[in-house]
Amino acid sequence: MSWTDERIEKLTKMWEGGATASQIADELGGVSRNAVIGKAHRLGLKARPSPVKPNEKEAAAPAPKAPKADALPRPAPAPRAAPPRPSAPAAAPAPAADGSTPPPAPMPRIVSVGPGGFLRQGPGDQQAPIPPAPPRRLVPAKPSPEMADKTSLLELNDRICRWPMGHPGEPDFHFCGEKVNPGFPYCVEHCGRAYQAQLPRGHRRPPPPLPFGGPRVR
């Protein structure tokens, strides 16, 4: 419904006359109590105190009944703590017969247990580092009878021939060991086998034929 001038004027008169929002809503019809209150606030009408007085609120709420004195359990008296006794002063060490003061008693050793149950070391429990073992002297192994007077892989250098003799893996596999040809890694004899002169192009042998008659011609 819409707020006409007549309904607004009627709401204003009843509001200023002290009627409640519910009474105004019933009189106007078709509106709720909250709608009447909202329209009154939008019109700037003065707010009215609540019709329920604070004294009436206290009277409406029943006061809680106090329990009887006989029904309440009596608290037991708390035990009194004994006053702390003054600690006796530590007795000074008695001097020895010759007049010298004896050494103080050793203090108890405190051990801290870490996670996992291992004992933590204190500053006085740390041991001196273990000195390193002296270096072992390497003794060269005796050559096998098959390699006696033969050049092994460990004996190669730039001044001896590196031509292999035999097959790797055999017990007597070794290298030539003769004096090298200057500028080459092999001796004169083995240089003749490693470096062979190439024949002129016209004197070369033709390559062997390809298998299956050679490539196909498309």
Q: Is residue 187 a contact partner of residue 168, using CB atoms and an 8 Å limit?
A: no
Task: State which amino acid sits at residue 6.
Answer: E
Residue 150's contacts (CB-CB under 8 Å, 6 or more residues apart) are 165, 172, 174, 177
Q: Please state, in angstroms and rounded to a whole number, the distance separating the CA atoms of residues 176 and 150.
A: 8
Strands 119-120, 112-113: pairing is antiparallel
CA–CA gap between residue 148 and residue 142 (Å, rounded): 9
Give the integer Cα–Cα distance in Å for 144 and 171: 9
Tokens of residue 74, six digits: 């009596």
pLDDT of residue 181: 92
Residues 5-31: tens digit of each pLDDT: 888 888 888 888 888 888 888 888 778
Q: In a 10 Å sphere around its CB, with 0-12 CB exposed, 13-18 middle and 19+ buried, how is residue 39 labelled?
A: buried
Greater pLDDT, 167 or 80: 167
Among 185, 192, 140, smallest CA distance to 176 is for: 185
Residues 6 or more apart in contact with residue 39 via CB below 8 angstroms: 3, 8, 11
- Positive or negative, the CA dihedral 2, 11, 47, 45 is positive
Contact (Cβ atoms closer than 8 angstroms) between residue 116 and residue 122:
no
Q: What is the pLDDT of residues 169-197, one digit of tens each?
A: 888 899 999 999 999 999 999 998 888 87
Contact criterion met (CB below 8 Å) for 155 and 148: no
Answering whether pTM is above 0.85, one says: no
pLDDT digits (tens, 9 = 90+) for 124-171: 666 778 888 888 877 666 767 777 788 888 889 999 999 999 888 888
Residue of 104 and 98 predicted with greater confidence: 104
- Residue among 178, 181, 180 nearest 165 (CA): 178
